[in-house]
Chain A
């Protein structure tokens, strides 16, 4: 049993044992307080490993091919960012690089760093610092929005040329589901409690 304050309205609650599948909500404003997860670290680690593989494919292979007459153009994420950079759109190139390439990479690597030791009942060094970085960067990871962007671009170009879907497209799709599933399986209260129990 411990106490917790709602992060949206500051009302203090006493948290007792929550049945599996249940969730705790703020009695005043309805914000989600805590939802315990089963087998959290193990499942999240499995997803993170899958995520790393999908990420590597998504970033090294072309995601769309574009065929007009005899010309074929294949695009990886990096070439798109590089084209923007060449056109002098440095802020936008940086923003895309950050939200679609860097943040997901930092997220996945950090989760591996945290979860591999935790899964063996050990607490990694700087756990708090690394996980705080993950939480800080979370809203800036935008792989799923990028995917919707691909869809819109395809509709826009389909009349102009033949569009050939690439391997990275499917890897991106898989990565979105993996990242979303990681957010569901990770029990961050349990993660923070590791610091208390191992001190």
Chain B
């Protein structure tokens, strides 16, 4: 359990987390603020898992705002490798350097060698950047489940020791450990080893009350009555067995749409004309229309 580089905790209490995240425009519930507080206190990476659009990435962004840190984002995708995640040598520049020194006879092998493997030719990718930073940093590793299994191994190494060994340069150790947030849509099970090193936060759709607050804080011009109606309707939609349940961001889009259209109530006709904002599969729309008696 090596957590070598120390970091001053950013938050003083769970209430503090809640307050500062709210100020950053993210309304956490008890589970979120407790887990974030623990991640900060214990210095462990935070693994946030949940369906798309429940505010996973948003949480990381709000964390960065709340703690005054810079957000460094590593977007995972299939085929992501060390060269994209950690660091890479700038081959082209190195080649140029070699070619430029070919004519001059003063440059012997050793100086060229030392030269082309210097700072100047190193392309730092998100993981290395986050480790080398001296200012407060939030490292967001987004959609970890999309990356290949090998990347998990790399993450394990980086996240447990917060150091990277570059053969030509030596070991780079974090001077200030970044706060790490990993997100996953659970399209595949992440490895036990990775999960074990993280604090696990399962994000689901919020409670009616919290969702209403979110809507009102993000779309402040919306009438509270309409927000209430909207949230209840979205919950009714989520209760149907849809292919893709409406997410929080889609609820917000819907609220914005209603506002733009100047609708003051969500009745059948309003819903029929705006259903495309929340449901994006034809079959889901048909199903919702039938179940909610829109016709």
- The answer on A and B forming one complex is no
